[in-house]
Structure 1
Amino acid sequence: MTILADDTIARALALVSESFVTASGPGGQNVNKVATAVQLRLDVYALRLPIEVFARLKLLAGSRMTSKGELLLIAQRHRTQEANRQDARVRLGELIEEAFKIPEKRAKSRLNRINKTQRLEGKKLRGSVKAGRGKVQMD
């Protein structure tokens, strides 16, 4: 993890706003009474991310990013508020850390002449098999 990513995660955790809502799933008798699920909201524009990092974060966040530039994470895996709160903060940190990683460029594969001819012969053979599956003509 880079120093820049660490600083950004620390800033994000300071800027985040939390709200607690009732969660679905396990919880026993308390499931409808106690607000254990955590909603984290973060204004991504306030982080002042580099353009490339912001673009990767937006792509990684997907539907969790609102049109106003807010990142919304909901954590409800655990039965307690504190465990869900910690889980949401960890997931936020991982998301930001992943956005800072520069993806490796894919090297184009090269086929030699023999492999190319074998591939084309295989395609022709497969095409002739499929062509023979049509309706039988009685001429």
Structure 2
Amino acid sequence: MSQDSSPVRLDKWLWAARFFKTRSLAATAIENGRARIGGERVKVARAVHVGDVLQIDNGATCWEVKVLALSDVRGPAPVARLLYEETSDSIQQRAHVAEQKKFAPEPAAQRKGRPTKQDRRDLSRAFYQKGMFE
């Protein structure tokens, strides 16, 4: 963690805070508007400052965090966790989403890979019986 208050690029900070596995994934997320500062879309090289509020969606989970410290070096997870503080609304929202997933899991999550020939025929029979292909 850098002790001085020099700004750090947003893509580097997201990578250092372990929200994304690589800087290129972080940069792509920023370009697609899935990482925002104060609710506004920003560019990849935008500087992050202590106290900024970020909305981050990495595809699997959404967070709203407040920046507590700056770092452009990826360290161990316990150190990365000290870079930010998740808001209480974000914690409640993630818990709600996790509970919904527990009670109503995604049907496609149970399938692994392509359906076999037998699976495909079973699906076709089911759709024809319901009249979906007619």
Shorter-chain TM-score range: 0.3 to 0.5
**Quick check: which one's strand share is greater?**
2
TM-score, structure 1 as length reference:
0.32
TM-score, structure 2 as length reference:
0.33
**Quick check: which one's helix share is greater?**
1
Larger radius of gyration: 1
